[in-house]
Structure 1
Amino acid sequence: MDFSSRNVETGLQHLCESVFVRLCQIVGTSVQVAIRRETEDIREMEQRRVSENDDVIEMLSGSKRKGFSLEGSDMDLMYWLNDHRVIWDMCQSEYYYTENKTLILFESSESTPGITLLESLTPTTDRKVRSACVPMNDRLYISSSLYRQQTQTNLLPGSTEHGPCESGEVLGRIEYDIAQCFACDFWPPSASSWINRCHSWPEREIVDDIIRNGCHFVPIGHPQGLHEHEKWRISFSVAEYKLVHTMNHCQFLSYGLLKIFLKDVKDKLSEETNKLLCSYHMKTAVFWVIQQNVVPLWFPQHLLAGFWVCFKLLLKWVYEGICPNFFIPQNNLFLTKIHGSAQRSLFLQLQSITESLHQVLHY
């Protein structure tokens, strides 16, 4: 390595360390992030401890649940009926006392991976669930669109539907997303391949904990195929925040830098493309990069290298029009959203940004 190369490498290390310090000021130190997470863990644990069978369970999700405290971060809340449970097959009904639990059966035939119909198996006393039920093929299914309508809280004037959520703004500055969902105590069979992929990350203890906590179903279907307004989407929110909690602080800051970068990039994109990417795509890229061990050393001096690898993976996905869900890779997160002229335009705009970054970082 010649003298000029050493100077470049040293300069990059100093830049990375400076960015690391600045991100700690914006996102938080490892201690601050841990305190935020533990505070919410304790609150949630206390709530579950005193919950009755017929209570509605609340869970904070999204950026704040993961430990972020970024300006403009929204508040994501999930609610579900404690006495309703989704099962994957009838044999799982033996784990429940059906006198006080309403069982709902997952029905995935002819569905996009990660999307399903929910069949009401046992009578429910909940008026909103009953009102959302629709008959199909001599069975009773819970319509996702009707359930969204029935459970809309209208928390504040001006709240609107945003995907599976009711969205609005508190105090004119804090955005919120509320998802009314159903809980499932079992891990989805369609996500079993994820378990087999977990060789180096996360650790087996974390994998087992994630599997024990099951998943949720949020009320949104898929524009392709039949019964779009009746179908539901599997949500891995619990698994995702547990995965984020296993990241070291450099990985967490790289994820935070991608979120900040996305917000800045959106302002530079055209009207046709500035709503195509979201923070969920960024999180998905970080998960894949960590699990595939593309960046072997996640230290402060390699912070920008980690960010760069994640960004290039995102660029590759945009070029191919395929963003594989981390838990169910067959579920393309770009499907129906990033394709055609908008896809080409987004790729060219991101490629231009990539070239600018390349000049700055010398990678």
Structure 2
Amino acid sequence: MTAPRIDTATVRRLPKAVLHDHLDGGLRPATLVELADEVGHSLPTTDPDALAAWFRESADSGDLVRYLTTFEHTLAVLQTREGLLRTAEEYVLDLAADGVVYGEVRYAPELMLKSGLTLPEVVETVQEGLASGMARAASAGTPVRVGTLLCAIRMFDRSREIADLAVAFRDAGVVGFDIAGAEDGFPPADHLAAFEYLRRESVPFTIHAGEDHGLPSIHQALQVCGAQRIGHGVRITDDIVDGKLGRLAGWVRDRRVALEMCPTSNLQTGAAASIAEHPITALKDLGFRVTLNTDNRLMSGTTMTREMSLLVEEAGWTLDDLRTVTVNALKSAFISFDERNALIRDVVLPGYESAR
């Protein structure tokens, strides 16, 4: 018996969790236009709808490096207290409107210093904006819990400094650490000192790996650096032949290492050919702990509702599949077991049951 098709309205109401979402990749187009005008930054267009289309088209190049160049425009408006506060608050409100009950937002403080803010001031400001957004969402009856991941840029040499920042703010909303940026030529082990320090301080971290570069990047992120999750990780399929798992793929599945998969983004960077053929479905069916994410909502023109709906429409996903990746995300979230368990038990499972 075929499961009934899930319509978009139902998907929108479902409780969701997102682990891989970049602050500088999720601005509202209209906000970007206004903030750019305030700081004197020139955009490709000042029409919000046309600007949204420009970002999507520019990100559709099939090349990760070119995809990353679109961030020069969003980062340009995230150099001031005003820009950071507004963006962080709106970020939370947009998650709440999309049915997200838990989110982790990541950003690189070292890229937000051009107007004189210090690293601690950047983090304090973002946390203030997120707190304001969470308070407003709760007042509106759509509560959402948002944790922060601080990113170091893998092409630069400030990862140990950013790790210090993650430790300093771990009781103020920062829940973990990441390295981001172009993968090829910038291996995770270049930042081993930061990862060793974070392990000593019991701060969890994820690493972008297996998107632009293959199995060696995933192996190094896990077995050399000690990552608890993998950002993207689509190339783990290189270690699976006719359903048989190699040693690295077996390690990832058997140790329940979460894969932060981002279907639309992966299509844009050339890491996957289509939604129907995206590895997330095959990996889910093989028992991997896959999670579903948006990556950069502005560049991909997406939301969690859209990502879920695409998998329903093009890959045949069911309500149970959507529940599985949501529970997977919460099981692997960088918050306490009690918080994760409460969200699963009290919010997610009842929410999916009511959708049947």
TM over 0.5: no
Rg bigger for which structure?
Answer: 1
Please identify which structure carries the higher helix content: 2
Q: Which has the higher contact order (CA 8 A, sep 6+)?
A: 2
Please identify which structure carries the higher strand content: 1
* TM-score (normalised: structure 2): 0.30
